[in-house]
Amino acid sequence: MMKLSRFNVVSIILVILVLLVAVGRIFVCPTLSNYSWIAIFPLFVYLYYSHVKDKNHLFGFFLIAFSIAEFLKIVFDTSNAMAYYFANILVIIAYIALIVFFVKDIKLKPLLKEFKIHIIVLLVFNAYIIYVLNQMIMQDEDISVYSLDFLIEVTYNVLILLVLSLSLIHYLYHETKPGLFLFLASVCIVFSEMVQVAYLFISSQQLLQVIYSSLMAVGFYFLYEYIKIKNNPPLRSPQALRR
């Protein structure tokens, strides 16, 4: 009989939790889906800190802060204003840590030399998306311009787009499999956040909530693959070594 490693045991638990989240969403059982959801993120923290040898504490902090924020959002919902603001600020700090993680792994001079056009296109794209997201937020009559809520939402939107852009640049710069998984994870997480903006400020349809959860789950699946590769790192390619 094959003995399961701790990594495999945690992986099986993650699959079970994701299935419980899906069942809770499909059969409209928020207690099951929500509490299964918040149990997922601490397991990612455990996997990263117990199984990755070459740990980066900025990435680890992102996982920890995101985990605490999701816990606060679900346990306190919107009934506690302090918990609501603390959760959003935690997510903002988590994304800042992820941005610094990407930036520190890129050298500016070769980046500007090789990807100048890419950066310009991304800046234009980001400016347009931020404008669209802000228009969506301003459809909520309860939020006034220059209020704390508006400031938090705008900051949130700017940061998630920076995460998306920097994850793409990071992958193009290094061209490694872990970099690809980080980029794919960022794509899913960022688009899930955009869907959440639509859910919160335009339409509260259950379908949007399901799409949000699905995209976030797929994003963290790619993070799982990233952690798995970091747990068993492959030999680096000659191109990666030259970087």
What tokens does 118 get? 């890419």
pLDDT of residue 241: 38
Please list, in sequence order, all residues whose beta carbon lies within 8 angstroms of the beta carbon of residue 147, skipping any fewer than 6 positions away: none
Q: Find the length of the chain.
A: 243
Place of tokens 């794509």: 187
**Residue of 70, 75, 97, 84 lying closest to 149 (CA atoms):** 84
- The pTM for the full model equals 0.84
pLDDT of residue 238: 42
Angle subtended at Cα 182 by Cα 86 and Cα 222, rounded to the nearest 5 degrees: 90
Give 105's DSSP letter. T
Asked whether the beta carbons of 119 and 168 are under 8 A apart, the reply is: no
The answer for 29, left when phi > 0, alpha when psi is -120 to 50, beta otherwise, is: beta
pLDDT of residue 96: 96
Give 202's DSSP letter. T
161/169 Cα distance (integer angstroms): 12
pLDDT per position in the chain (243 positions), as tens? Answer: 456 788 889 999 999 998 998 888 878 888 998 899 999 999 999 999 998 888 899 999 999 999 999 898 888 765 677 888 898 899 999 999 999 999 999 988 888 888 888 889 888 988 888 888 777 777 766 667 778 888 888 898 899 999 999 999 999 999 999 999 999 999 998 888 777 766 655 555 667 777 887 888 899 999 999 999 987 765 444 444 344
239/243 Cα distance (integer angstroms): 7
pLDDT of residue 239: 46
pLDDT of residue 133: 74
